[in-house]
Amino acid sequence: MPELPEVETVVRDLQPELVGCRIVTLQVGRKKLRTPWRTAWSGLLAERTIHAVGRRGKWIILELDGGQYLVFHLGMTGQLTVTPSVAVRQDHTHLVFDLDNDQQLRFRDIRRFGSATLFACRTDLDTFFVRSGLGPEPFDLSADYWAKCLAATTRSLKAVLLDQRVVAGVGNIYADESLFEARLHPMRRGCDLSKKEADRLRRAIATVLCRAIERRGSSIRNYVGGSGLQGEYQNEFRVYGRTGEPCPRCRTAIARLRLAGRSTHYCPCCQRS
């Protein structure tokens, strides 16, 4: 599933391609996405100009004139790209937005766990995020907030990092990589961390995510950025997906366990329990 670095890469790719463009028409596929597309939305989007492209957690937000917001979630295999109108349309393309510059914004999703939703105003959008319980952005975590969240839970650090209500945008890959960066075992309980360890993890999350954004995210299966280019951070993983391979710090074999319902990778030496 695309995580924050991948979604941020899509946003940065789309910004120069979409801002100032006008949506002329919309083509909707026959198969439903996770959130079914409403017929009325097609009429509301016609002739709308895209003012801005942003992100909240793993959601991509297109701000339109008239105060509307078109919000995408990539799910597990979603791709949101700007393509010349004459380009061959790939299978599993469910939404095609014709733009006024002979380009198209195409939403493709093989497994159809992604979604596209139109919100009538900023209040509706904010209400949606509040009701979803979405936590703060990783780059906005205050030391006090983060320390209190960890001190109040007996859950493992891996489970805390995957909880979008605590911190938005972090998924399985970057949870493992952040814990390695911070030299903390994924099974450690949040309440057992010292303030110094908690802050080390807070800073490690931001460091790893920034590093991944610089490399355009990680292309494991279907992920591509908004320009159709793949990410490169998968070539720099230090623990994720490297079971049995040597730790880049100490050469101990990377171990794997099942934690919080997900495969979890760590170094038994650098990340002692």
| DSSP, res 35 | B
For residue 227, tell me if it sits in a domain.
yes
212: how many CB neighbours lie within 10 A of its CB? Answer: 26
Claim to verify: residue 23 and residue 125 sit in the same structural domain: yes
Claim to verify: residue 76 and residue 164 sit in the same structural domain: no
Claim to verify: residue 260 and residue 145 sit in the same structural domain: yes
Claim to verify: residue 124 and residue 33 sit in the same structural domain: yes
For residue 17, tell me if it sits in a domain.
yes
Claim to verify: residue 111 and residue 30 sit in the same structural domain: yes
For residue 271, tell me if it sits in a domain.
no
pTM, entire model: 0.93
Claim to verify: residue 115 and residue 151 sit in the same structural domain: no
Q: Which of 75, 108, 132 is where one domain is finished?
A: 132
pLDDT at 231: 83
pLDDT at 225: 77
Residue that wins the pLDDT comparison between 273 and 70? 70
Q: Which of 132, 157, 176 is where one domain is finished?
A: 132
For residue 146, tell me if it sits in a domain.
yes
For residue 254, tell me if it sits in a domain.
yes
| Boundaries of domain holding 155 | 138-266
User: pLDDT tens for residues 123-178?
Assistant: 999 999 999 999 999 999 999 999 999 999 999 999 999 999 999 999 999 999 99
Domain of residue 217, CATH code = 1.10.8.50
Q: How confident is the model at residue 47 (pLDDT cuts 50, 70, 90)?
A: very high
Q: Where does residue 250 fall: left (phi above 0), alpha (psi -120 to 50 degrees), or beta otherwise? A: alpha
Instruction: Please name the residues in contact with 43: beta carbons below 8 A apart, sequence gap of 6 or more.
Output: none
pLDDT at 273: 84
**Taking a C-beta distance cutoff of 8 angstroms, is the pair 232, 215 a contact?**
yes
Claim to verify: residue 261 and residue 146 sit in the same structural domain: yes
For residue 156, tell me if it sits in a domain.
yes
Claim to verify: residue 29 and residue 102 sit in the same structural domain: yes
Q: How confident is the model at residue 194 (pLDDT cuts 50, 70, 90)?
A: very high
For residue 272, tell me if it sits in a domain.
no
Claim to verify: residue 119 and residue 155 sit in the same structural domain: no
Instruction: Please name the residues in contact with 249: beta carbons below 8 A apart, sequence gap of 6 or more.
Output: 267, 270
The total number of structural domains in the chain stands at 2
For residue 231, tell me if it sits in a domain.
yes
Alpha-carbon Rg for the chain in angstroms? 20
Claim to verify: residue 197 and residue 86 sit in the same structural domain: no
Just list the catalytic residues.
2-3, 58, 262
Domain of residue 109, CATH code = 3.20.190.10
Angle of helix 195-214 relative to helix 143-151, nearest 10 degrees? Answer: 120
Q: Which of 100, 132, 164 is where one domain is finished?
A: 132
DSSP 3-state of 181: helix
pLDDT at 61: 98
Q: Is the pLDDT of residue 183 over 70?
A: yes
**Hey, what are 137's tokens?**
């952005």
pLDDT at 60: 98
User: pLDDT tens for residues 207-245?
Assistant: 999 999 999 999 876 677 777 788 889 999 999 999 999
Claim to verify: residue 92 and residue 38 sit in the same structural domain: yes
User: pLDDT tens for residues 61-115?
Assistant: 999 999 999 999 999 999 999 999 999 999 999 999 999 999 999 999 999 999 9
Residue that wins the pLDDT comparison between 227 and 36? 36
Claim to verify: residue 225 and residue 120 sit in the same structural domain: no
